[in-house]
Amino acid sequence: MAALLEVENLRVTFPTPRGPVDVVRGISFSLGRERLGIVGESGSGKSMTGRSILKLVRPPGRVTADRLQFGTTDLLRVTERQMRTIRGARISMVMQDPKFSLNPVMTIGAQIAEALRTHQKLPRRTLRERVLAMLESVRISEPERVAALYPHEVSGGMGQRVMIAMMLIPEPEILIADEPTSALDVSVQAQVLDIIDDLVSRKGMGLILISHDLNLVAEYCDRILVMHGGQVVESCAARDLAKASHPYTRGLLAAMPRIDETREMLPVLDRGAWGQA
């Protein structure tokens, strides 16, 4: 399988008064036309990994890598202008909270159209048709009505589907979804992930799903990277997650209460057990 994206020895560093701090400490992975999950707790560097692929780490943060290859493009060498033709069009990103990621003063239809128009010149009628078709494919039942609404007029779940529509309308090769459902209700989460899953597999895209939720990632991904303290501590097939060997992964799995819970106390991670926490 040809890799869509190859990352080698990726580091993200932020300067602090007490010297530079590495938030991502030399991680390597490759992504094909598959669903890759990155899990970890707050501060594990999982979001920074996603952002550095799109070169969205703001200064004074610095990204270095031995290799950051996207198809035939070397992402380490592209200019900001070239990057803008990649961002959104070929690699796009769904953010966590639709409330803060949608433009509040633009209608939903106009925002989705803008995502497409930025990268392609299309006649107005085609543009509108594509927008409505896209809204329909994220299972919005009345696309014409919803296209005319403003973001505050729709629910969180619908807002997130609008975000997904916007990110997928230019038909990118890679979709990075950073906690796409953690601002949503449990019952809506599954629905949103099913839509992402369906579109990603239908269009043969690569998906990077970033989340803190092990169960969710295990269910929706083929392969999982577990991150802790800026490093990948475990990499395994999703179906083998329960057999994970690293103490951190096993600790996380054991610390989650289960629906048929009978344990008196939950085992707690011993943070000293594997170096720094």
Which residues in this chain contact other proteins in the complex, by CB under 8 A? 41-42, 156, 185-187, 189-190, 212, 214-216, 218-219, 241-243, 250-269
Q: Provide, rounded to whole angstroms, the least separation between the CB of residue 39 and other proteins.
A: 9
CB proximity list for 199: less than 8 A, separation 6 or greater: 137, 138, 164, 168, 205
Q: Provide, rounded to whole angstroms, the least separation between the CB of residue 49 and other proteins.
A: 17
Residue type, 221: C
- Residue 54 or 188 having the CB closest to other proteins: 188
- Residue 44 or 111 having the CB closest to other proteins: 44
Residue type, 80: E
Q: d(Cα 97, Cα 160) in Å, to the nearest integer? A: 7
- Residue 148 or 242 having the CB closest to other proteins: 242
- Cα-based distances in Å from 149 to 94, 100, 103: 20, 16, 12
- Residue 191 or 235 having the CB closest to other proteins: 191
Q: Provide, rounded to whole angstroms, the least separation between the CB of residue 244 and other proteins.
A: 8
Strand order in the sheet with 174-178: 91-94, 174-178, 206-211, 35-39, 223-228, 231-237
Q: Provide, rounded to whole angstroms, the least separation between the CB of residue 133 and other proteins.
A: 28
**In terms of C-beta density within 10 A (0-12 exposed, 13-18 middle, 19 or more buried), how is residue 30 classed?**
middle
Residue type, 236: C
Q: Provide, rounded to whole angstroms, the least separation between the CB of residue 217 and other proteins.
A: 10
Q: Provide, rounded to whole angstroms, the least separation between the CB of residue 70 and other proteins.
A: 31
- Residue 39 or 147 having the CB closest to other proteins: 39
Q: d(Cα 240, Cα 246) in Å, to the nearest integer? A: 12
49: number of CA atoms within 13 Å, CB side? 38
The residue length of the chain stands at 277
- Residue 6 or 41 having the CB closest to other proteins: 41
